[in-house]
A and B are shown apart, each in its own frame.
Chain A
């Protein structure tokens, strides 16, 4: 059927909603949010990195742009979560577009370093911006009785969701599913094939008439916007935000490690990587310190890069081909 994937996506969103109504233990939503957030980050990274071959080291900068857009909006207008996420996506998308323009002539490592530079400059600027808390950070109180389209969303008795954890989980899950759908769409579209051509050889692609410049700008914008949407609810989730938590190294390493481990050639790679690595980190963080956790992520990344260049997906494909012969 032509729309099988779309129907599955719809069913998954409905499934997420049912989960929030049935499951009582809030802990699952607490860690589920983080895993889904990583899934969006990994998927967004892969659009530029996996399809186009442009490595972004500054993922945390885009996520933080979304988060701080939300904080500024809360301070300024006191708007709801959905509006924050839309605004976060717009600003991070614009940042992505600007990054694309600034780094048009840069290839490979120079692009990677430029993105890292961007993240550090942003962090310095935010640390000096007192309106959003500066270096010391600021606490965010979620709105009481938020409404969307006339409906009361979060309230213990009358709301759609009993509390904010469930609402945040549902929103992030929906964003994750939409992101994966977008990634899959891009993969099979002209944009995806063009990006693949750029990855193989930018000169050759250009000679064949691929509008490399435009495709790169589209990719940096979409990738940045996704990360911004993923970052916008961070302040509400943590109820506190400071540059250290928004520009955390965890985001930068996981956004790279998850697609690399899952496999960068397909949309399924980042999803598998985020589910495996994200769940493992969340579960193991219960009994080992978070630094050790990150160390394991680093080691797993290096090991996978050395022994499994195509990631987990590559293994499956190889073993399938092997059994056919």
Chain B
């Protein structure tokens, strides 16, 4: 079997080449380093998630105890923290923190998880401006540079290793004169190159997949096998893309030096220049709306609302006649009044942010079309998405928190308007946030197109390489 023979010979050649051994060893070290980094970050996030959840439980039990004490005749500690007051129970004191658990494969790709908030305090004051918050405390310099995670190694360094291993698979055989001897045997150039590259691909992809699976094993990511599968598929297709690119360049029958130059140039263009150019072009053609103007709009909305409190309450009750029944006749009742103002601000904020978000979504949809130009962008999208640290999962979390805040208000506002008091009997019914995390199917649906395009590129370049190699003969 010729392929096996070539593979064995390749193994020998690689092992005999000290420089290559060092490069491979270095790559393995980088993989492990990246993995360790990711695991440290995941553990950090897990610790914070636990802290946040403990906070929820502590607040709940403090409220439960005080309510029990009050039921037994004790006085509340302060009028402003009386848990019977729906303004208190649904407000700051009763705050429930909604948490997004770290993406199942965070250890492999930090993605947006260092930038975007992963927990929000929800109470009746939660509105659109509550979503304008920073995520984790992090040095902006570190955010700018980004993390040394497995996704970084795959997107940037893996192609370089592939090129270093593959730029001369054919050209070197010709330059050192072994090609004629090889092709005088009953084998085809295509077969030899495919076997040689297959061997290298096995080695490189094997190393990356081993590191990925090790990371998954260590962090329990096998709970989402679908994500692991998508991650592996993206790694394999992306790595193979670079291998077939190397094969294609080799099939052009130029010198090793020429191949190296062209491949490094291709890396630079596809991985560095194109993504950057795409971002610049999209920034010019489809600029994102500015948040700064939103701040001003929000401010104006709340000024307006504060100035027209009582008018707003009347309108609120018109809009929500079901609430009117319980409202205390005296409209100076501060709870209802304050709520009316809050609600008006919220509505106005929703309008302002709604417009902003719609424009932003439009621009991003346009920008996302350009990513098909760069395999690096496609691979990054799938890797980060599969890891559960991509934009979509965070957006999904945010909209769940939005719905949860709505539910929260729906629970407390009628009581506020009616001036009701609450007791321990409501505790079991208090809204609690439970994350409906996206399934592997959702991720797969999002990843299908980028993966298919990446696969298409692979097939296209692979076909060109196959055709080119078919023309290779011993006497070039």
Do A and B pair up? The answer is no
